């Protein structure tokens, strides 16, 4: 059975904001905000929260989510979702949706799923145009360049392309959501970390360096990934408004 699953990796010990998935905003944990977006995605058959924390697992069950425990030794969200995917041979398409993106839209998740179902790509993801120069130079904002057919050429924490000549290109930032064909996810997570990945600390470069195809789709919304107390304050301000 060719199921499509959105898997949300969630760990308690975030380095910059401990217990992040369980922080409540308007009486709901951040993780629940994300899950509620995921269950509205028309092209997904199920949504699974993958966690190494019993507290997160229990909280997820309380708000009605399907949750599974994973090992606590995973170094990335992709490894965590791969563990869950391996248990479920019926799942053919997987979305890695970060548990700290509460403003992601169901429509954009649908785009990611469509990318791996209807394209020859191994992986699909989202990018957005950037206009702010400080954001362009910020290494925490990952940039992407792609070919004429929308396939990623490279991702970098540096500003790419370097504009020796101004006015020819737009700069695009990457949103940390991925759609995978099952075999692509399992292949990528079994590969050793590549030299480019280790240099930039970007796991999607492992896939690119191994010759895997990543299809990009352009969206026009600005996401808020909650990594710091400032991000949390910004999210609270937005939903209050």
CB count in 10 Å sphere of residue 27 = 6
Q: Residue 137's pLDDT is what?
A: 95
pLDDT tens for the chain, 241 residues long, are 799 999 999 988 776 677 888 889 898 999 999 999 999 999 999 999 999 999 999 999 999 999 999 998 888 889 999 999 999 999 999 999 998 889 899 999 999 999 999 889 999 999 999 999 999 999 989 999 999 999 999 999 999 999 999 999 999 999 989 999 999 999 999 999 999 999 999 999 999 999 999 999 999 877 778 878 888 888 888 888 7
Q: Residue 100's pLDDT is what?
A: 86
Tokens representing 81 are 């979702």
The answer to whether the CB of 7 falls within 8 A of the CB of 50 is yes
Q: Residue 148's pLDDT is what?
A: 97
Q: Are strands 171-181 and 143-146 parallel, antiparallel or unpaired?
A: antiparallel
- Which alpha helices (DSSP H) does the chain contain, by range? 30-38, 54-62, 77-87, 106-117, 133-137, 182-190, 195-200, 204-209, 229-240
The answer to whether the CB of 143 falls within 8 A of the CB of 136 is yes
**Residue recorded with tokens 């970007």:** 202
Q: Residue 239's pLDDT is what?
A: 84
Tally of structural domains, the chain: 1
| Of 160, 155, 154, nearest in space to 137 by CA | 160
- Domain CATH number, residue 42: 3.90.550.10
Burial class (CB in 10 A: 0-12, 13-18, 19+), 143: buried
The DSSP-derived string for 14-49 is: -SSSTTGGG-EETTEEHHHHHHHHHTT-TT-SEEEE
Peptide bond connecting 161 to the previous residue in cis, omega within 30 degrees of 0: yes
- Cα of first residue to Cα of last residue in the chain, in angstroms, is 43
**Residue recorded with tokens 């993801």:** 125
Q: Are strands 143-146 and 152-156 parallel, antiparallel or unpaired?
A: antiparallel
| Of 214, 17, 228, nearest in space to 115 by CA | 214
What's the pTM?
0.93
**In the 8-state DSSP scheme, what is residue 69?**
E
Q: Residue 210's pLDDT is what?
A: 97
| Of 126, 115, 128, nearest in space to 184 by CA | 115
- The residue segments making up the domain with residue 220 are 3-240
Q: Residue 219's pLDDT is what?
A: 94
| Of 8, 9, 11, 3, nearest in space to 88 by CA | 3
**In the 8-state DSSP scheme, what is residue 212?**
-
What gap in Å lies between CA 170 and CA 157, rounded to an integer?
16
């Amino acid at each position: 059975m060719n199921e499509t699953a959105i898997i949300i990796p969630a760990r308690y010990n975030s380095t910059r904001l401990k217990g992040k998935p369980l922080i409540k905003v308007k009486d709901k944990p951040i993780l629940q905000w994300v899950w509620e977006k995921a269950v509205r995605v028309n092209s997904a058959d199920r949504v699974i929260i993958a966690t190494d924390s019993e507290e997160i697992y229990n909280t997820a069950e309380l708000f009605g989510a399907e949750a599974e425990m994973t090992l606590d030794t995973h170094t990335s969200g992709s490894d965590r979702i791969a563990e869950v995917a391996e248990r479920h041979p019926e799942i053919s398409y997987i979305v890695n949706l970060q548990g700290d993106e509460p403003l992601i839209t169901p429509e954009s998740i649908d785009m990611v799923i469509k990318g791996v179902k209807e394209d020859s790509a191994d992986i699909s993801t989202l990018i957005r145009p950037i206009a702010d120069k400080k954001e362009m130079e910020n290494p925490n904002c990952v940039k992407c360049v792609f070919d004429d057919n929308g396939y990623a050429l490279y991702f970098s924490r540096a500003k790419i392309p370097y504009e020796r000549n101004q006015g020819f290109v737009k700069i695009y930032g990457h949103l940390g959501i991925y759609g995978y064909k099952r075999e692509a996810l399992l292949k990528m997570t079994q590969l050793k970390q590549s030299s480019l990945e280790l240099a930039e600390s970007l796991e999607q470069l492992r896939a690119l360096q191994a010759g895997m195809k990543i299809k990009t789709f352009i969206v026009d919304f600005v996401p808020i990934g909650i990594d710091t107390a400032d991000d949390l304050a910004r999210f609270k301000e937005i939903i209050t408004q």
